[in-house]
Amino acid sequence: MIIQTRESNLKKMFYSCLLLAFVIVMALIFIFNEYKTQRERILSNASDELSSKVESSLGVYKDFSNYVFNEIEDESDIFRLMSEAYFGNEITRASNRNKIYSMLEDKYKSLTDFNFRQLHFHFENGDSFLRVHKPEKFGDNLFSVRESVRIANEEKRFVQGFEEGRIYNGYRFVYPVVYNDIQIGSLEISLSMGSIINSLFNLYPEQDFFFLMSKDVVNEKVFDDTKSNYMHSKIASDYYVDKDVLNKNLERLKFDELEGNTELLKKELEPHIKTGSSFSQEFNINGQYLIISFLSVENFKKEHVAYLTSISEDDSLMLMKRNYLLLNIMIFIVLFAFFVIIFQSYRNQNELLKMSTID
């Protein structure tokens, strides 16, 4: 009888421990899933915030670009000279090119003060007529390398977006040029991604920003004598860094400790970078929790060609991890306490059984 009672108590203890272990495991799974969900939400929000910041900056530049185009359009001599050049011979084109350049030289210098990099006239067939930013280069056909120019001329509509060019990369606003009801070409007003980076630094000084260009795109499109504008990225082997963009913002960079952890960053980030999609990743560098966000930049063909990157400190991840760790510790303490109570209860019951047999 006593043996049966002991076996019964042992079974009760076993099933109690089993039930408790099941409840604890389910609680841990729930907490871990909740932790993962919150972490993914924080990282997703970081990506969305970067996208919103870039869109806001571009909206301001678009308004200014429209203003510049309207000013040039109102100066009727410019489009008249371009029309004469389009229908004229090489002598007329050279003469009118010089005239337009002289008329716009000062205006272009003013544009550079507002972070615009290029002012470029193209004929309707895609030939470059005048690069105000580099007047000695002209005559090359752009349709094969500049989808924006092709769309503006063949589809006769305004387009905007990022695109790598023969000399510089940039965010481009391309307008059809019509004179006497005949489209004679297009006018491009563009700014470098460095201008957008500069704007982001001004608006969000607590963050760092970078721009990475696909090596394949640069090697395919850029003039050989201007490829020196780029250097290899330390964290993405398939990407270049625009030297001009980096050098202008070196003094504004805050997270210097990343410089000594480039191998770690490359190892963790490169698998995500190779997807060509936007993403955010967290890092704990010397106790500092950072979020690095990569915003995928597409060209006019909807092809991924670059990344705009931000680095920011985020204490919410640290607090979330700390709370998750504390909760797990508390659960294990409670689990240990329950096991002790159950075991002690089993011992007490056995002691009572022994005492009852002695009596």
Q: How far apart are CA 95 and CA 9, in angstroms?
A: 106
Beta bridge pairs of residue 190 = 118, 172
Please determine, for residue 39, whether its predicted confidence score (pLDDT) is greater than 70: yes
Residue 45 reports pLDDT greater than 50:
yes
**Higher per-residue confidence, 152 vs 357:** 152
State how far the Cα of 310 lies from the Cα of 312, in Å rounded to an integer. 7
Least confident range from 33-42, 105-114, 124-133, 196-205: namely 33-42
Which single residue is written with the structure tokens 């050989």? 224
Collect all residues with Cβ–Cβ distance below 8 Å to 79 and sequence separation of at least 6.
72, 73, 177, 178, 179, 184
Burial of 131 (C-beta count, 10 Å sphere; 0-12/13-18/19+): buried
Q: Could you tell me which residue, 150 or 57, shows the higher pLDDT?
A: 150
Least confident range of 75-84, 138-147, 207-216, 342-351: 342-351
Whether residue 248 is predicted with pLDDT greater than 70 in this model: the reply is: yes
Whether the predicted pLDDT of 194 surpasses 90: no
- Per-residue pLDDT, averaged over 323-330, amounts to 74
pTM: 0.76
Which of 29-43, 62-76, 283-297 has the weakest average pLDDT? 29-43
In whole angstroms, how far apart are CA 136 and each of 13, 127, 249? 90, 14, 29
Residue 99 vs residues 85, 125, 129, 265: alpha-carbon distances, Å: 11, 22, 12, 52
**What's the mean pLDDT when you consider all of the chain?**
85
The Cα 153–Cα 95 span in angstroms is: 24
Whether the predicted pLDDT of 112 surpasses 70: yes
Average pLDDT over residues 348-357: 58
Structural contact between residues 139 and 120, judged by C-beta atoms closer than 8 angstroms: no
Q: Give the residue-averaged pLDDT of 129-154.
A: 93
Which domains are present in the chain?
37-53+194-318 (3.30.450), 68-193 (3.30.450.20)
pLDDT digits (tens, 9 = 90+) for 261-275: 888 888 889 999 999
- Report how far Cα 324 is from the mean position of its chain's Cα atoms: 29
Going by C-beta distance under 8 Å and a sequence separation of 6 or more, which residues neighbour residue 214?
Answer: 238, 239, 240, 304, 305, 306
- Number of Cβ within a 10 Å radius of residue 140: 14
Residue where the block lists tokens 């002289």: 102
**pLDDT > 90 in the chain, percent:** 44
- Strand 208-214 and strand 304-313: the pairing is antiparallel
Is residue 180 pLDDT above 70, yes or no? yes
CA distance 18 to 14: 6
Flag the least confident range among 77-91, 163-177, 197-211: 163-177
